[in-house]
Amino acid sequence: VTLKLEHWDCAIRDLAARALSKLTDKIPEYVATEVLPKLVKKTESIDLNIRHGAILGIGEAIYALSQADLPDGRKGDTLVDEELWARVRGLVGELRSRQLLRGLGGELMRQAACHCLAKLALARTPVQKEDTVDEWLNLIEECLSHEVQAIREKAIEALPHVFDQYLKDDNLLYGDVTAKQKRMQLVEKYCSQLGNTGVNGQFLRMGYARALGALPKFVLAEQMQLVIQSLIDCTKVTEVTLTWAEARRDAVVGLTEVCQTLGLGSGLERFVGEMRTALLECLSEYTVDMRGDIGAWVREASMTGLLSLCRQCAADAPQLNDAAAVRSVACGVAQQAVEKIDRTRAHAGRIFTALIYNDPPIANIPHHEALKRIFPCEEVEVRRSDEPETASESSAVVLWLFPGHTMPRFVQLLAFPAYRYHVLKGLVVSAGELTESLVKHTTQSLFSYLNTLHEDRQTMESICATITQVFADNLHVKRITGPMFNFLDRLLSSGSISPILEDSESTFALDILKYLQLELRGGKNIYKLLDSINVLCQLIQVGGVVMSRSLGQLMIYVCYADRYVRRCAAARLYEALTLYGDQFRTKPKHLVMTILAETDWEKDINELRHIRNEICDLMGIKRPVMKSKAQAS
* Dist. CA 90–CA 492, nearest whole Å: 74
Q: Domains in the chain: how many in total?
A: 1
Angle at 100 between CA 94 and CA 102, to 5 degrees: 135
Q: Residue 443: what pLDDT?
A: 93
Amino acid at 159: L
Residue, of 384 and 92, whose pLDDT is higher: 92
Tell me the pLDDT band of 382, cut-offs 50, 70 and 90.
low
Please indicate, yes or no, if residue 153 is contained in any of the structural domains. Answer: yes
* Beta-carbon-side half-sphere exposure of residue 58 (alpha carbons within 13 Å): 32
Please indicate, yes or no, if residue 72 is contained in any of the structural domains. Answer: yes
Please indicate, yes or no, if residue 126 is contained in any of the structural domains. Answer: yes
**Neighbour count for residue 64 (Cβ, 10 Å):** 23
Please indicate, yes or no, if residue 113 is contained in any of the structural domains. Answer: yes
* Dist. CA 318–CA 473, nearest whole Å: 34
> What are the pLDDT digits (tens) for 415-444?
999 999 999 999 999 998 878 889 999 999
> What are the pLDDT digits (tens) for 292-342?
999 999 999 999 999 999 999 999 989 999 999 999 999 999 999 999 999
* Dist. CA 80–CA 71, nearest whole Å: 16
pLDDT over 50 (residue 631): no
Please indicate, yes or no, if residue 121 is contained in any of the structural domains. Answer: yes
* Dist. CA 45–CA 569, nearest whole Å: 75
Q: Residue 543: what pLDDT?
A: 81
> What are the pLDDT digits (tens) for 445-465?
999 999 999 888 899 999 999
In this prediction, residues 491-518 reach a mean pLDDT of 91
In this prediction, residues 266-281 reach a mean pLDDT of 92
Residue, of 622 and 189, whose pLDDT is higher: 189
Amino acid at 228: I
Q: Residue 618: what pLDDT?
A: 86
* Dist. CA 242–CA 288, nearest whole Å: 9
pLDDT over 70 (residue 281): yes
* Dist. CA 604–CA 69, nearest whole Å: 95
Among residues 559, 550, 560, which one has the least CA distance to residue 526?
Answer: 560
pLDDT over 80 (residue 522): no
In this prediction, residues 513-537 reach a mean pLDDT of 88
Instruction: Strands of 423-564 (E only): list them.
Output: none
> What are the pLDDT digits (tens) for 184-214?
999 999 999 999 998 889 999 999 999 999 9
Please classify residue 91 by burial: count the beta carbons closer than 10 Å to its beta carbon, then call 0-12 exposed, 13-18 middle and 19+ buried.
buried
* Dist. CA 44–CA 48, nearest whole Å: 10
Average pLDDT over the chain reads 89
Domain containing residue 25: 1-166
In this prediction, residues 613-627 reach a mean pLDDT of 83
Please indicate, yes or no, if residue 629 is contained in any of the structural domains. Answer: no
Q: Residue 604: what pLDDT?
A: 87
* Dist. CA 32–CA 70, nearest whole Å: 12
Ramachandran region, residue 97 (left: φ > 0; alpha: ψ -120 to 50; beta: rest) = alpha
Q: Residue 279: what pLDDT?
A: 96
Please indicate, yes or no, if residue 146 is contained in any of the structural domains. Answer: yes
Read off the pTM. 0.89
**Helix (H) and strand (E) counts for the chain?**
33, 4
CB contact at 8 A, 202 and 297: no
Angle at 289 between CA 330 and CA 419, to 5 degrees: 15
Q: Does the N-terminal peptide bond of residue 360 adopt cis geometry, omega within 30 degrees of 0?
A: yes
Q: Residue 207: what pLDDT?
A: 95
Contact residues for 532 (Cβ-Cβ < 8 A; gap 6+): 485, 516, 519, 520
Q: Residue 381: what pLDDT?
A: 63
Please indicate, yes or no, if residue 122 is contained in any of the structural domains. Answer: yes
Amino acid at 167: L
Dmax (CA) for the chain in angstroms is 111
Percent of the chain exceeding pLDDT 90 equals: 60
Q: Residue 267: what pLDDT?
A: 85
pLDDT over 50 (residue 477): yes
Q: Residue 451: what pLDDT?
A: 93
Buried b / exposed e over 189-209, threshold 16 CB at 10 Å, is: ebbebbebeeeebbbbbbbbb
